[in-house]
Structure 1
Amino acid sequence: MAAPPPPNSQIAPLPGNLPFRIVSKTIGMGAYASIRKAIPMDAPSPVIAVKFINKEHALKHGRLSEKHIKMEVAIHKHLGKHAHIIQCLANGEDHYWHWIAMELADGGDLFDKIEADEGVGEDIAHVYFHQLIDALGYMHSKGIAHRDIKPENVLLSGDGDLKIADFGLAALFEKDGVKRLCNTVCGSPPYIAPEIVSGRRSKRKDILDEGYQANICDIWSCGVVLFVLLVGNTPWEEPTMRSDEFREYVDTEGRTTDELWEKIPPALLSLLRGMLKLNPDERMKLDEIRTHPWYTRKNPFLTPNGRTTNQVGMATQMLTQLHIGVDRPPVQSQRGFSQDPDAMDVDSDPHRSRANPANINGLSSTQPETPLADTPFDWERPARTYSQEAVSQPSLYDRAPSSSMIGGPSFLSQLSPSTQDILSQDPSMSQFYATPSVPMTLTQMARKFGDIMPSHSLSRFLSPLAVSLLVPLLIEALHRLGVPAAAIPEEHLAEMNRAGKASVRVKMADGRRQGLNGHIVVERTQIMEEKVSEVRFVKASGDPLEWRRFFKNVVRCVGDAVLRPD
């Protein structure tokens, strides 16, 4: 039997003659595609990822013809197998769908594991920059430019190795030794090269009169990604004179006084400035990057031949650097949120969402934003390290939590010892310690990256409050952050309480005027003898660091409702 349709599918069932079995709900999505896990028909492994693209929807809302989709597949297949590139395994289609089977990045999103406004530290940034340049060099040797290097497209394997994904905008810039220029305006504004943005467009707004060197533009994007790895923020909103930060960078020839640049290690400044040269002809080439002293420096997490080592140490350091600071006020870095009066909806299940296009600048983004789907989006719930069962009967939690849990901080010590023991081993809980740390029992048992760092998003928290008490607090927090939120009738809250779940739809523009969309999912659950609510921030589209920053702001607003260590 064919699987049920994902959202934006025009209710067409997924293909029924797939050469594999779908074994998950949705694990990811794009503007016109959804991704699920699959396995071979007669075996439990390997687990792969399958992207389903609805033809009608892609053409109508994404202006994506079958020719474009087939070009993406052809380029992805042409790349073959590389340690730091998601491999394309197979593809097919029926009347309604294109599907692309790919290697599963079972370590999740890299930038979901990086603290906003903090970064990952020099050694780990060095590891991932090494792997990024290794992947880029391989792509360019095949004559292919990615043209959309940015955090959303940087994933991890289960061993913590970087994997480049999404070749929907990739282009062939060299064939049989002959190079060609590209003309399509594409990419994400904070990461796009300036020659693409500033190029003249007299015929069409998405086509330049004079082309650009796509491989050289990739190097610019990698420079911005390196900056983000180090400081947890982009150097500018877009590489135009509309950005104060970029204008100062240009005026000072890279000697900007912006405080973010003060966080960059001195030995690295010449590399960054070289990769971010305004003139593409003067921009560093890959060979120059590979011979730069910072690139060739010794690293405790890298072997001499460029392989990662001490995965447990890497994961431990990354997890330790994730810190919420529940008692701090929300950071004032988000601006330009959507003012769409319907920007927040509360549903029993999540829906696809988009930011108000009027508040997002005119530069082309990676994927066009799409209308809201009427079909509920069926997200896979991440696996847990502790045993639990869903709470679906209202009688199990009709009583309100104790006054100490409502009127003051919600501490783990207020739960039973057995529940405390289980939750203390949950990696997600470590980010709520006053001094972030990883439990020694967890590191002692760990053998690889994934034993410490979970694949699922760490943008989540637990609360002792029932759904009907917690949702209004979340709505109030959104109001404080300037995100419009719909009023919730009492009868709707009662219905959520009976169902034991609710979903708040988030549609806005982030601090860089880019679309940031997703859902705040609240589900009542039982851990041992304790009843708690799990709150997950599920990003549908947008920059993962901006989503992380949004999550932190909401957590700081709801404060005492968050279950955390003493």
Structure 2
Amino acid sequence: MQSQLDPLPNDLPFRIISKTIGRGAYASIKKAIPPEELHPVFAVKFIHKAYAVKHGRVSAKQIAMEVSLHSHIGQHPNIIEWFATGEDAVWKWIAMEYAEGGDLFDKIEADVGVSEDIAHFYFTQLISGVSYMHSKGVGHRDIKPENILLSDSGNLKIADFGLATLFEYNGKTKLSTTMCGSPPYIAPEVITCSKNGQSRNPPGYAANLVDIWSCGVVLFVLLVGNTPWDEPTPASWEFEEFTRTGGRSTDELWQKLPASVLSLLRGMLNVDVANRYNFERIKMHPWYTRKNPLLTPDGKMADPLGMAAQMLESMHIDFSQKPTASQRNPRQSQDAMDIDSNEKTSKFSFTQPETPINDIMFDWERPPRVHAAALSATQPANAKDADISRMTNSAAGPLFPSLADEPSMSQFASAPTVPLSLTQHARRFRDIVPNYSLTRFFSHLSSPLLLQMLRDALHQLNVPTPAIPQVQGRDHAAWIGVKTVDGRNCVLLGDIVVDTYISGDAELLEVRFVKVKGDPLEWRRFFKNVVVLCKDGVYIPGA
């Protein structure tokens, strides 16, 4: 692909106010506001049409379908709302609700999960959104942690309708035959359909039942912080045992589950689609109808601050632990440099390419600064633009009195804890659980020493790195592209971005792990492994 993409449209009916906040295989997401107003802040997805068709194996018709179906279902409190769309010769843009709370699974600890009450809360909201979608005849077909976001108040939002389909219209239903989804979350009948795809009349699958299977896997992940298998085929020993025992697996992950939820999971993860639970049976199950102090009768959050504190407390890095893989019996890892093309897609043919758009215009937005500093001379001069600067997470004013009070620092405490300063001054869910990812740390080392430490850690984890970390024209101290496979043998793509950070009289380096593609929990596990290997370079206030 060319090193410099075509410029974004210059006649947009809104003002872009941020760098990239999300990036996919052929799209970038930025924040925007109305032309003459500061609110509301919304998200705009920019799709490079030629790149999507050439590298993403999607047609212009499929892109149009995403817009059409999203606009059809985007009126539910647990679904990202659709606002408008437009295009020019190169780009198509979709304006939608901005999920101000960020990714839900960024706030869940790998291999730990969340409490039963929190899992129940988010599961009921997920089922509410997906069942509404199905009532409109739309199947998502890609329910997974990457596509589950949060509002600023911590409520669940289902996103990304690039693989959605209309399975019911005017009382008539149709089966799907397209292979799509992520291996750990995909239903087995989708794979069976793909294997028979060369026949004249390949068996189809019901998109709504596929979504129910995926919701079951998501519930499992919420409770234990890991997927039950890497793929639902006999090649996975965990799945083979699950089917052989009728859902009574002896695998250690299943032993962590509350007994009351097991029958619900077995119903949702029933390989026999004729007997798989539908929404009526799910909503009648005793675990679904259980009392939950975090949930109001109308499905809202009863105690936002208490729930946020619980979630932040669960995020913890133990420096005494050795790096871990997600599987108990991890496979021999393939060479991560070989995953670009069809190494994985020879078996799973997906619609998204493994190599995403990578361009200077898609530089990542930085999280809020913590230090108390006045606006610099490079900051906007007038009040309106200063407000925009604050809205875009720039260095425009202190959010916390010191770095020790910054939410991401709590994960490095010797014992899981939430800074008292956070809970004392918090008014909303996101005042405790930030919208940005917690996969970042600060270092007191010099840039050369830190970069060498990072490179050594990546080498120990068999992650290839460039000879010299690149900044690619961006305004950063260093920028390391990450291309590897996770413990479930799925692709992980992202960036390690190093920036200079001034805190009081001290100058530190901020190291952010920004995921582009892959499971958020696997990315979190990768981050933890690198941090443990770099523990001597991690700055911990008061340590």
Residue 67 (structure 1) aligned with residue 47 (structure 2)? no
CA distance in 2, matches of 1:373, 1:442: 36
**1:23 aligned partner, one-letter code:** I
3-state DSSP of counterpart to 2:30:
strand
Which structure 2 residues correspond to residues 35-46 of structure 1 after superposition, within 5 A? Answer: 35-46=29-40
1:199 Cα shift?
Answer: 2.5
CA distance in 2, matches of 1:293, 1:366: 38
Partner of 2:335: 339
After superposition, the Cα gap between the structure-2 partners of 1:230 and 1:327, relative to the gap in structure 1 and judged at 3 Å, is same
Q: 2:216 aligns with which of 216, 220, 223?
A: 223
Q: Secondary structure at the match of 2:515?
A: strand
Task: Give the alignment of 1:411-490 within 5 angstroms.
Answer: 422-488=402-468
Retained in 1: the 8 A contact 2:183–2:230? Answer: yes
Counterpart of 1:561 in structure 2 is 537
1:529 aligns with 2:534: no
Distance 2:435 2:311 in 1: 13
C-alpha contact 2:480 2:496 (8 A) present in aligned 1: yes
CA distance in 1, matches of 2:50, 2:3: 8
Shift of the alpha carbon at 1:128? 0.3
Compared CA separation, residues 465 and 10, structure 1 to 2 (3 A): closer
- Which residue pairs with 2:368 in the alignment? 383
Aligned-pair Cα RMSD in Å: 2.5
The residue number in structure 1 matching 2:519 is 543
Q: Which contiguous aligned blocks of 4+ residues in structure 1 show a shift greater than 4 angstroms?
A: 7-10, 200-205, 334-338, 354-357, 388-391
1:329 and 2:329 correspond: no
Deviates more, 1:175-184 or 1:246-255: 175-184
Q: Which deviations, in whole Å up to 9, do the C-alpha atoms of 1:355-391 show, x marking residues without a partner? A: 5642566213462223674657411111134336999
Whole-angstrom distance in 1 between the partners of 2:359 and 2:334:
21
Among residues 317, 321, 337, which one is paired with 2:310 in the alignment? 317
Q: Tell me: CA distance 1:8–1:232, structure 2 relative to 1, closer, same or farther (3 Å).
A: farther
Q: Which amino acid aligns with 2:366?
A: R
Q: CA distance change for structure 1 residues 534 and 69 in 2, over 3 Å: closer, same or farther?
A: same
Unmatched tracts of structure 2, length 5 or more: 377-397
Structure 2 vs 1, CA of residues 208 and 243 (structure 1 numbering), >3 Å: closer, same or farther?
farther
Q: 2:390 maps to which residue? A: none
Report if the CA contact (8 A) 1:520-1:535 is conserved: yes
Corresponding residue for 1:266?
259
Alignment CA distance shift 1:388-1:476 (3 Å): farther
Deviations 1:266-311 (A, max 9, x none): 0000000000000011000101111111111111110122221110
Partners in 2 of 1:224 and 1:290 — Cα distance?
Answer: 17
Structure 1: which 5+ residue stretches go unaligned? 1-6, 344-353, 392-417
Going from structure 1 to structure 2, the CA distance change for 1:378 and 1:138 (only over 3 Å counts) comes to same
- On the 8 A contact 2:481/2:494 being kept in 1, the answer is yes
Partners of 2:6 and 2:90 within 8 A in 1 = yes
Secondary structure of 1:520's partner? Answer: strand
Name the SS for the 1:472 alignment partner.
helix
Is residue 511 from structure 1 mapped to residue 507 from structure 2 by the alignment? no
Q: Whole-Å Cα distance in 1 between the matches of residues 283 and 201 of structure 2? A: 31
Letter in 2 for 1:424: A
CA distance in 2: counterparts of 1:455 and 1:261, whole angstroms: 31
Q: Is residue 461–residue 536 contact of structure 1 (8 Å, CA) maintained in 2?
A: yes
Query: Does the 8 Å CA contact 2:86/2:93 hold for their aligned counterparts?
Result: yes
Residue 487 (structure 1) shift: 3.5
Aligned residues: 516
- What is the letter of the counterpart of residue 88 of structure 1? W
Alpha-carbon separation, structure 1, partners of 2:224 and 2:149: 19
| SS of residue in 1 equivalent to 2:455 | helix
Is the CA contact 2:177–2:194 (under 8 Å) kept in the aligned structure 1?
A: no
What secondary structure, in the 3-state scheme, does the structure 2 residue paired with 1:99 have? strand
Q: How does 1:47-446 map to 2 (within 5 A)?
A: 47-199=41-193, 201-204=195-198, 209-333=202-326, 337=333, 339-340=335-336, 355=340, 357-358=342-343, 362-365=347-350, 367-370=352-355, 373=358, 375=360, 377-387=362-372, 422-446=402-426
1-structure distance, mates of 2:255, 2:336: 37
CA contact (8 A) 1:28 1:35 kept: yes
Q: Please tell me whether the aligned partners of residues 19 and 362 of structure 2 are also in contact (alpha carbons under 8 angstroms).
A: no
For residue 60 of structure 1, report the CA deviation from its aligned partner: 0.5
* Distance (Å, rounded) in 2 between the aligned partners of 1:261 and 1:42: 54
**Normalising by the residue count of structure 2, what TM-score does the alignment of the two structures yield?**
0.90
Cα distance in 2 for residues equivalent to 1:308 and 1:534: 33
1:457 partner amino acid: S
Contact 1:312 1:446 in 2 (8 A): yes
Q: Is the 2:466–2:480 Cα contact (8 Å) retained in structure 1?
A: no
- 1:320–1:438 CA contact under 8 A, matched in 2: yes
- Partner Cα distance (1:337, 1:31) in 2: 23
**Separation in 2, partners of 1:339, 1:511:** 13
Which residue does 2:381 correspond to in 1? none
Work out whether residues 372 and 401 of structure 2, in 8 Å CA contact, stay in contact via their aligned partners in 1: no
**d(CA) in 2 for partners of 1:448, 1:364:** 42
1:480-517, Cα deviation, whole Å (9 max, x unpaired):
112123344xxx89x99xx8600111001111111100
**Which amino acid in structure 2 is aligned with residue 242 of structure 1?**
A
Partners in 2 of 1:65 and 1:361 — Cα distance? 20
Distance 1:201 1:479 in 2: 37
Amino acid at match of 1:317: Q
Give identity over the alignment, percent: 56
Residues 26-49 of structure 1: per-residue CA shift (max 9 Å, x gap): 110111100100000000010000
Amino acid at match of 1:279: D
